[in-house]
């Protein structure tokens, strides 16, 4: 009995990971339950042993991606101190690797554009993701109103730069945009 519970939990995690990656790569509406389950060699019928519906999976998949992203950003900036922490974070977030691989990156940048048109679970999960990212940024600075305003602007700029960078990927303007935002954000912190 215990082994089957462990197997069920491992299968659920695999479903969430596969869905999370596919949603970020292709968008929520473009990914079906059959796509997710097929990627794992599982049947659609098996999906309903783990989730009530696609909306339940969407919320959990976005939350998992958000936690993964924040953990990676924290790890990237862990050894740095002061303004260098933001630089390390931006190096990771505004990297060519992150730009080229949305399936393994920030769910906010990958999915926020369509969130207003998606299900409530997607919107709520993306709001939690923004909250996690902001909390990570706030851990590095004082809570003063001006400081919070700067952190909100930095978050918006970095996410927006990643979205536009993906749109303009492969063009000189796309790379210039990413580098310009990174430089401006670091200059603003000095």
User: Which residue segment(s) compose the domain that 67 sits in?
Assistant: 54-189
CA dist 121 and 54 (Å) reads: 10
pLDDT above 80 (res 165): yes
Confidence class of residue 128 from pLDDT cuts 50, 70 and 90? very high
pLDDT in tens, 64-78: 999 999 999 999 888
87 found inside a domain: yes
168 found inside a domain: yes
Confidence class of residue 172 from pLDDT cuts 50, 70 and 90? confident
pLDDT above 70 (res 142): no
Number of domains the chain contains: 1
108 found inside a domain: yes
58 found inside a domain: yes
96 found inside a domain: yes
User: Residues 53, 61: contact at Cβ < 8 Å?
Assistant: no
What is the percent of the chain where pLDDT is above 70? Answer: 93
Residue 134, token pair as written in the block: 């902001």
pLDDT above 60 (res 1): no
71 found inside a domain: yes
28 found inside a domain: no
Which own/partner pairs from 116-124 qualify as long-range (CB within 8 Å, at least 24 positions apart)? 118/28, 118/29, 118/58, 119/28, 119/54, 119/55, 119/58, 120/55, 121/55, 121/56, 121/58, 121/59, 121/62, 122/28, 122/55, 122/58, 122/59, 122/62, 124/59
Tell me what the pLDDT averaged over the chain comes to.
89
Confidence class of residue 145 from pLDDT cuts 50, 70 and 90? low
Provide the CATH number for the domain around residue 141.
1.10.357.10
What number is the average pLDDT over the span 28-48? 96
pLDDT in tens, 78-125: 888 877 888 888 889 999 899 999 999 999 999 988 776 778 899 999
Q: Tell me what pLDDT residue 140 has.
A: 63
What number is the average pLDDT over the span 123-128? 94
111 found inside a domain: yes
């Amino acid at each position: 009995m215990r082994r089957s519970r462990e197997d069920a939990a491992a299968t659920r995690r695999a479903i969430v990971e596969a869905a999370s990656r596919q949603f970020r790569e292709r968008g929520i509406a473009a990914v079906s339950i059959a796509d997710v389950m097929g990627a794992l060699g599982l049947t659609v019928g098996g999906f309903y042993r783990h989730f009530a519906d696609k909306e339940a999976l969407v919320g959990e998949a976005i939350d998992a991606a958000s936690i993964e992203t924040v953990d990676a950003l924290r790890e990237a900036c862990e050894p740095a101190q002061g303004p260098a922490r933001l630089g390390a974070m931006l190096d990771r977030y505004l990297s060519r690797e992150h730009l080229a691989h949305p399936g393994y990156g920030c769910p906010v940048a990958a999915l926020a554009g369509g969130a207003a048109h998606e299900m409530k679970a997607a919107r709520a999960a993306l709001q939690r993701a923004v909250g996690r990212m902001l909390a990570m940024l706030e851990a590095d600075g004082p809570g003063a109103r001006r400081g919070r305003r700067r952190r909100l602007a930095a978050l918006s700029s970095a996410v927006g730069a990643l979205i536009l960078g993906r749109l303009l990927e492969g063009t000189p303007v796309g790379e210039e945009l990413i580098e310009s935002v990174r430089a401006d954000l670091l200059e603003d912190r000095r």
